A and B are shown apart, each in its own frame.
Chain A
Amino acid sequence: MAESILEVKDLSVYYGVIQALKGISFHVDKGEIVALIGANGAGKTTTLHTLSGLLKAYSGEIKYKGQELTKIPNHKIVSLGMAQVPEGRRVFAQMSVLQNLKMGAYTRSDKNEMEATLANIYKRFPRLEERKNQLAGTLSGGEQQMLAMGRALMSHPDLILMDEPSMGLSPIFVNEIFSIIEDVNKDGVTVLLVEQNAKKALSIANRAYVLETGSISKEGDAKELLNDEAIRKAYLGE
């Protein structure tokens, strides 16, 4: 059996009195791409925000590399090796591309290692190097997505959480972003992918979970889910 890097058990989260997550359990194995699909409001972003500590869990556990995360303050999580590419990219618009990337490495202290990571990221995203002195707010949506990914990779994560990376992008960029996700994964980074573009997500993922109004309604091999009649109807628009 593969070694699991993330193990979520009976996780419940509330927004005030509304229960956004109703005791979900799932796991991510080392080296996998796991997709979390579902309609708007199903709780996908809530799940990622709770993993990163931006939202507090009401009950349940989140074990990352065996360590319980629910009691750890959010700013300490990235240095454990878990980074997030947030929904809507959330780049620092008034800072330059390079400054944004350096913020991604905020918790790292070794300058040489950081420079090496930066060189790698420039190799993967040549456009970021071309625009390194430009303010992030002036980049196109696709470029901002690349920056958000590069920024998360600057922390040298073992697990990367991606929230709707294809949202609002042109079809060409969507394909590019998904092939980059596959490349990042091939380099050894485990990926938990939240996507509304279920077809694309399932086509690159190993396994997937379907989230429906705060509960996991289906899980399994991504290719099998891609051929599942009910899934095709509900999420692939067929």
Chain B
Amino acid sequence: MSFLTYLINGLSLGSIYAIIALGYTMVYGIAKMLNFAHGDFIMVGCYIIFSVSAALSGNSVVGIIVAIILCTLLGVTTEFVAYRPLRGAASPLAVLITAIGVSYLLENIALLIYGADIKSFTSVINWEGVSFAGGQLKIQGVTIVTILVSVVILIVLQLFINKTKQGQAMLAASEDKAAAALMGIDVNKTIALTFAIGSALAAVAGALLCSAYPSLSPYTGAMPGIKAFVAAVLGGIGSIPGAMIGGLVLGIVEILSKTYISSQLSDAIVFGILVIVLLVKPTGILGKKVQEKV
């Protein structure tokens, strides 16, 4: 029974990684850049929920909505101010280093406003959860909500990409920007939309992450951000189902190794798995083979 509990907790943590990884992978798919500040968008989202809830004496729903809106704006603004001018720069490293810079900027702004001490975050989910088998198997409300939210997000994203004109434009632009422009697609606008979606998802991930692990500091987003990046690479960067699978695998491995092997070693095991998968299948689990241009 306890194994099942751990598995479900892993699934839940994995769902959070998956939601963050979706942002990484979508942005990479279209802008061909790694937005290393993505993890910090989560932290920004958490602080916004924290502040708004405090101001409204505990109303977290409004907090979540405000966080989603502000994170979306933050993502679009960052793309416009920091990344777009560097698109087409001589070296792709320019935008990568800028992203790291944005990450430090956000962390330090948070440090300036909120200080370094850890704030305790009140869960946005008040549901106790359910228990099965006479109380032997207990699943917390936040665990169930996290898993459900991630499933809904995946379905909505797939529908958006496959069924809407904007989603199809996103797919086309991620394959070939020049050809997409010839179709009349505004590639810059499409990239901005991708950042908007990724950043909104970061806010959602933040709400879930801080509800499950209720301590908030300026570095809250850093580690989950890196783990989600690993998840995206593991699943095959650029692939939406890949990000989902990568996230789930990572979450389950982390929780199970923490439980059964060693909590100190769990991160080493997680990153070790990344190394092994990349040695065997360099494009990740669902990654597409990069076709050589003739």
User: A residues within 8 Å of B by Cβ?
Assistant: 52-54, 73-79, 83-84, 86, 88, 90-95, 99, 102-104, 106-107, 137, 151-152, 155
Please report the C-alpha to C-alpha distance between residue A137 and residue B294 in the assembled complex, in whole angstroms: 14
B189 — nearest CB in chain A belongs to which residue?
A: A75
Among candidates A54, A99, A137, A155, residue contacting B178 with C-beta atoms closer than 8 Å: A54
Among candidates A73, A78, A93, A94, residue contacting B183 with C-beta atoms closer than 8 Å: A78
Among candidates B169, B175, B178, B184, residue contacting A86 with C-beta atoms closer than 8 Å: B178
Please report the C-alpha to C-alpha distance between residue A137 and residue B181 in the assembled complex, in whole angstroms: 19
B176 — nearest CB in chain A belongs to which residue?
A: A90
Are the CB atoms of B169 and A106 closer together than 8 Å?
yes
User: Given the complex, which residues of A lie within 8 Å of B187, measured CB to CB?
Assistant: 75
**B193 CB–A CB distance under 8 Å:** no
Residues 268-294 of B at the A interface (beta carbon under 8 Å): 288, 291, 294
Are the CB atoms of A94 and B175 closer together than 8 Å?
yes
Interface residue tally on B, bucketed by range: 20 to 34
Are the CB atoms of B179 and A90 closer together than 8 Å?
yes
Please report the C-alpha to C-alpha distance between residue A84 and residue B175 in the assembled complex, in whole angstroms: 17
Please report the C-alpha to C-alpha distance between residue A102 and residue B183 in the assembled complex, in whole angstroms: 10
Are the CB atoms of A75 and B184 closer together than 8 Å?
yes
User: Given the complex, which residues of B lie within 8 Å of A52, measured CB to CB?
Assistant: 181-182
**B73 CB–A CB distance under 8 Å:** no
User: Given the complex, which residues of B lie within 8 Å of A151, measured CB to CB?
Assistant: 183
Please report the C-alpha to C-alpha distance between residue A99 and residue B176 in the assembled complex, in whole angstroms: 14
Are the CB atoms of A103 and B168 closer together than 8 Å?
yes
Please report the C-alpha to C-alpha distance between residue A84 and residue B184 in the assembled complex, in whole angstroms: 11
User: Given the complex, which residues of B lie within 8 Å of A74, measured CB to CB?
Assistant: 181-182
Among candidates B179, B184, B288, B294, residue contacting A94 with C-beta atoms closer than 8 Å: B288
Q: What's the nearest-Cβ distance from chain B to residue A123, in Å?
A: 22
Q: What's the nearest-Cβ distance from chain A to residue B290, in Å?
A: 12
A155 — nearest CB in chain B belongs to which residue?
A: B184
Among candidates B165, B179, B186, B294, residue contacting A92 with C-beta atoms closer than 8 Å: B179
B186 — nearest CB in chain A belongs to which residue?
A: A75
Please report the C-alpha to C-alpha distance between residue A92 and residue B185 in the assembled complex, in whole angstroms: 13
Are the CB atoms of A83 and B182 closer together than 8 Å?
yes
**B171 CB–A CB distance under 8 Å:** yes
Are the CB atoms of B168 and A107 closer together than 8 Å?
no
Are the CB atoms of A92 and B172 closer together than 8 Å?
yes
Are the CB atoms of B184 and A76 closer together than 8 Å?
yes
Among candidates A54, A79, A88, A95, residue contacting B181 with C-beta atoms closer than 8 Å: A54
Are the CB atoms of A79 and B168 closer together than 8 Å?
no
Are the CB atoms of A86 and B179 closer together than 8 Å?
yes
Are the CB atoms of A104 and B181 closer together than 8 Å?
no
Q: What's the nearest-Cβ distance from chain B to residue A94, in Å?
A: 6
Given contacts A75-B187, A106-B165, contact A95 B172 (CB under 8 A): yes
Query: Which of B180, B182, B184 counts the most A-chain CB atoms under 10 A from its CB?
Result: B182
Please report the C-alpha to C-alpha distance between residue A75 and residue B185 in the assembled complex, in whole angstroms: 5
User: Given the complex, which residues of B lie within 8 Å of A94, measured CB to CB?
Assistant: 171, 175, 288
Are the CB atoms of B183 and A106 closer together than 8 Å?
yes
9 A-B pairs closest in CB distance? A107-B184, A78-B184, A90-B179, A75-B186, A74-B181, A106-B183, A106-B184, A103-B183, A92-B175
User: Given the complex, which residues of A lie within 8 Å of B184, measured CB to CB?
Assistant: 75-79, 106-107, 155
Please report the C-alpha to C-alpha distance between residue A53 and residue B183 in the assembled complex, in whole angstroms: 12
User: Given the complex, which residues of B lie within 8 Å of A83, measured CB to CB?
Assistant: 182
B171 — nearest CB in chain A belongs to which residue?
A: A95
